[in-house]
Amino acid sequence: MSAGANDCFEAVPCGVCGADDFSIVYPADNKAGRVENVAETFRSSGDEKLTDQLVRCRVCGFQYLNPRLKASLVLEGYSAGEDATFVSQAVSREETFFDALAAIESMAPAKGRVLDVGTAGGSFLAAARRRGWETAGCEPNRWLCEWAGKSYGLQVTPGTIFDMSLAEASFDLVTLWDVLEHTPDPRKVLTECRRVLKPGGLLVVNYPDIGSAVARMMGRRWVFLLSVHLYYFDQKAMARILNETGFTVLQSRPHWQKLELDYILFRMQAYIPVVPAFFRKVFAAVGLKNLNVPYWMGQTLVIAK
């Protein structure tokens, strides 16, 4: 690592209880040049396997990266760069969101205004608009904001929720799809979500659950142990941080995502080198590579009010 690399990292306390007392789960795996390429690491489809140190809070059991890249560098990484791999799955994502919204709407008091925090290419907002919602969203990546404008005609605010200057109690639904674990300060983000929600409004958080059976079974090889995931919630930690920011959990369940078969195999190649490459060829040959298949690796959907 270069001499300046240490300046890029910061020590952080537990994101749930605030304690600074931890044990090491996985030590850091230092690769030269890691921080020179922040924009490449921090993109929506970022799939660089975890190299930073994962720790567990001795007080509450929450797992998080510590030390981790400075928050300002994380955000800088997200704002730059293009992400064509991620948007290649826009149609499959829309389909997943369309189905998920049907279930969410059955619990919502009204179909009104929805805010999607970290909307990436806007697939969720496009699905929501098709179902009659009035939409708003933010996304730090400028390229994805433009993509959402060109592809869906959506106005997405470049930046984070804190760049939106939103009025208090102005939304019926706020959603965070695979976003909270990427943010440098989840508690601050949830507090802001609470402020902009109308009384009785709903919050939806989708996150990879490190306490799920599949995560425990895969251990160090779990697909969501990534450099871009700064925090690792399980159901207990998620319920606690939601309660402490003013929410009550109504439902928590596995969230099956639809993705194209070829994309799943492509992502699997990072873990198992030969077999997925072989099947990609087979499925391409028989014309099945664009088949939408449901897959679940511990993604959990929480609905709270």
Chain contacts with Zn ion (rule: CB under 5 A): 14, 16-17, 19, 57, 59-60, 62
Minimal distance in Å, beta carbon 237 to Zn ion?
A: 8
CB of 219 to Zn ion, least distance (A): 22
| Identity of the residue, 66 or 300, whose beta carbon is nearer to Zn ion in the bound complex | 66
Q: Closer to Zn ion at the Cβ: 14 or 264?
A: 14
Q: Which is nearer to Zn ion, 59 or 288 (CB)?
A: 59
Distance CA 125, CA 111 (A): 13
Q: How far apart are CA 214 and CA 21, in angstroms?
A: 27
Q: Which of 207, 209, 210, 176 is nearest to 190 (CA)?
A: 176
SS (H, E, C) 28-70: CCCCCCHHHHHHHHCCCCCCCECCCCEEEECCCCCEEECCEEC
CB of 27 to Zn ion, least distance (A): 20
3-state class of 3 per DSSP?
helix
Smaller CB separation from Zn ion, 59 or 268: 59
Token representation of residue 191: 């507090």
C-alpha–C-alpha distance, residues 192 and 184, integer Å = 14
What minimum distance in Å lies between the beta carbon of 58 and Zn ion?
8
16 vs 55, which CB is nearer to Zn ion?
16
Q: Which residues of 29-66 are buried (b: 16+ CB within 10 A; e: fewer)?
A: eeeeebbeebbebbbbebbbebbbbbbbbeebebbbbb
Tell the smallest beta-carbon distance from residue 22 to Zn ion (Å).
8
Q: To the nearest whole angstrom, how small is the minimum distance from the Cβ of residue 186 to Zn ion?
A: 13
Closest distance between Zn ion and the C-beta of residue 279, in Å? 41
* Closer to Zn ion by Cβ: residue 57 or 230: 57
Q: Shortest distance, CB of residue 188 to Zn ion, whole angstroms?
A: 16
User: Is 207:300 a contact under the CB 8 Å cutoff?
Assistant: yes
Considering only CA atoms, which of 39, 97, 62 is closest in space to residue 187?
A: 62
Closer to Zn ion by Cβ: residue 161 or 241 = 241
Label residue 29 left, alpha or beta by phi (over 0 means left) and psi (-120 to 50 means alpha): beta
Contact 122, 150 (CB under 8 A): no
Q: Which is nearer to Zn ion, 118 or 186 (CB)?
A: 186
